[in-house]
Structure 1
Amino acid sequence: MASTIPDITLNDGNTIPQLGFGVFQIDPADTTEAVRRALDVGYRHIDTAQGYGNEAEVGQGVRTAGLAREDVYLTSKLNNNFHRPDDARTAFQASLDALRTDYLDLFLIHWPLPTRYDGDFVSTWKVLEEFKADGRARSIGVSNFQVPHLERLAAETDVVPAVNQIEAHPYMTNDEVRAYGAKNGIVTQAWSPIAQGAVLDDPTIADIAEQLGRTPAQVVLRWHIQRGDVVFPKSITPKRIEENFRLFDFELDEATMERITLLDRGEEGRTGPHPDTFDFVPA
């Protein structure tokens, strides 16, 4: 399937494909085939995490697709029980081993956990700086960091995160965090880009989709693309994998973009936990 995925240049000079394929909540038994199919369709960016339990299957999917390692952008994330520096070092190597690669294109702190580890995510970030310095992580970033968390990193560390992966969708546009990122050269990645499916039945989205002859998911994902977000929808359904890839042969005009943005419900639209209070650490 022909499509050209734009690259976004990060603050470290590396680039990231703006559209990726996410594997959150995909059962490990289904992950290899889903990744292979996504790569066959044309995706070249796969987003996983230690906490998803399917890194090994992601790596197998890449190998099954027959693509060279350098042709696939791989992202993973540090699990919440590995924030202490030595634990983070061990966990990162475990990710490389599971994926059977000697580097990651992007590695993130999954959650800031400000009420855990005496609120110390700074020492964790400094360990990620080590991974970038030795080349085992081409780029490093964070996930679910609020503006005060980012400001603390700016004050106490040397490397600005390349990306911040946050919940963002039409029901919670998360514009304060996005604006801080834009001002400071931090690219926004949107997780839960369709609000776990909640926005797909919204009358405004349905109306736009009908007018354009597109699916509601395509409309919302295109809204993300035009906002400049990196987005990585997930699915194991072959038809949906292909549909979600077809985002670059149409555009939303300014009025349509505004209609979607006005669906914002602020914090009431959040589908996941709040980063200021989320404190889950696996046993």
Structure 2
Amino acid sequence: MTIPAFGLGTFRLQDDVVIHSVKTALELGYRAIDTAQIYENEAAVGQAIAESGIARDQLFITTKIWIENLSAEKLIPSLQQSLSKLRSDYVDLTLIHWPSSGAAVSVKESMQALMTAKEMGLTRQIGISNFPIALMKEAIEAVGIENIATNQIELHPFLQNREVVEFAKQQGIHITSYMTLAYGEALKDGTIQDIAQKHQATPAQVVLSWAMQSGYAVIPSSTKRENLASNIEAARVELDAEDMAQIAALDRQQRLVSPEGLAPDWD
């Protein structure tokens, strides 16, 4: 089992907006969709998938367990609720969305509950999100490296998260980048605009291509058909070594997502 390099994110999209986004994306050829319990859109995503007519085995669906459901007694029932909303017997990937605040629930307890869910057939793969190195080590100790499909982290040209990436690579854990376009800020960067002009591509395509060529999976979201269509073409943009080096030089440790009371001790 592998993680698709390209998928659709649904963060902040709800109701008819997310239904339209998912259905449009599926029409355009997207086959991986990322959602989460806290997004409160799993039922809408499930409706969009059902109405698309695309066979379940053609899709890769990811959801994420919210912090209130990380305990052994709550995790599996909460995932079963997610499956009901998504109208599916299983998801392809289930992640711990954020580490438990103040370690109220241990990483070991949550990861072992996820492993049980995998053994029950509720999820094909399991993984983590927003885990720094110290907590990645705890997750590895709890279930073994071979059972951690990915660590989904904020990663964009202005926050390249090199320590976490390097550790994950050493361990053989795949990285999924979220916020890859930095809330659109990366699209305004002069260096990225110059590279886009050079390749007759959009700035978004350049950033997404950079992430995928770096070995990361990406899950950009959009509500506009033209952007959804453009983004999926990012894989066709081939950046050269000079382009990659120029984007690497944009790193400035600019973290955009660090919720108070929720964020772990970042590396």
TM-score range, shorter chain: over 0.9
Partner AA of 1:75 in structure 2: T
User: How far off its partner does 1:274 sit?
Assistant: 6.6
State the distance in 1 between where 2:168 and 2:197 align: 33
Are the equivalent residues in 1 in contact too, given 2:5–2:218 (CA < 8 A)?
Answer: yes
After superposition, residues 38-117 of structure 1 pair within 5 angstroms as 38-117=25-104
Secondary structure (helix, strand or coil) at the match of 2:235 reads coil
Q: Which deviations, in whole Å up to 9, do the C-alpha atoms of 1:51-87 show, x marking residues without a partner?
A: 1010011111111111001101000000111111111
* Mapped pair 1:242 → 2:229: yes
Partner AA of 1:70 in structure 2: D
State the distance in 2 between where 1:226 and 1:182 align: 14
State the distance in 2 between where 1:153 and 1:45 align: 25
Residue aligning to 1:157: 143
User: How far off its partner does 1:222 sit?
Assistant: 0.4
State the distance in 1 between where 2:144 and 2:211 align: 30
Aligned to 2:21, which of 34, 48, 52?
A: 34
* Mapped pair 1:122 → 2:108: yes
Residue aligning to 1:178: 165
Residue aligning to 1:256: 243
TM-score (norm 2): 0.94
Partner AA of 1:142 in structure 2: I
Residue aligning to 1:271: 256
State the distance in 1 between where 2:39 and 2:210 align: 27
Secondary structure (helix, strand or coil) at the match of 1:171 reads coil
Task: Structure 2: give runs of 5+ residues left out of the alignment.
Answer: none
TM-score (norm 1): 0.89
Aligned to 2:120, which of 99, 122, 134?
A: 134
User: How many residue pairs end up in the alignment?
Assistant: 263
State the Cα RMSD in Å: 1.6
Name the structure with the higher helix share: 2
User: How far off its partner does 1:155 sit?
Assistant: 2.7
User: How far off its partner does 1:114 sit?
Assistant: 4.8
User: How far off its partner does 1:113 sit?
Assistant: 2.7
State the distance in 2 between where 1:63 and 1:157 align: 33
Task: Structure 1: give runs of 5+ residues left out of the alignment.
Answer: 1-13
Secondary structure (helix, strand or coil) at the match of 1:135 reads coil
User: How far off its partner does 1:275 sit?
Assistant: 9.3
User: How far off its partner does 1:143 sit?
Assistant: 0.3
User: How far off its partner does 1:180 sit?
Assistant: 1.3
Secondary structure (helix, strand or coil) at the match of 1:217 reads helix
Aligned to 1:147, which of 126, 133, 140?
A: 133
Partner AA of 2:125 in structure 1: S
State the distance in 2 between where 1:154 and 1:240 align: 37
* Mapped pair 1:227 → 2:187: no
State the distance in 2 between where 1:60 and 1:66 align: 11
State the distance in 1 between where 2:140 and 2:224 align: 41
Are the equivalent residues in 2 in contact too, given 1:114–1:121 (CA < 8 A)?
Answer: no
> Could you tell me the percent identity over the aligned residues?
37
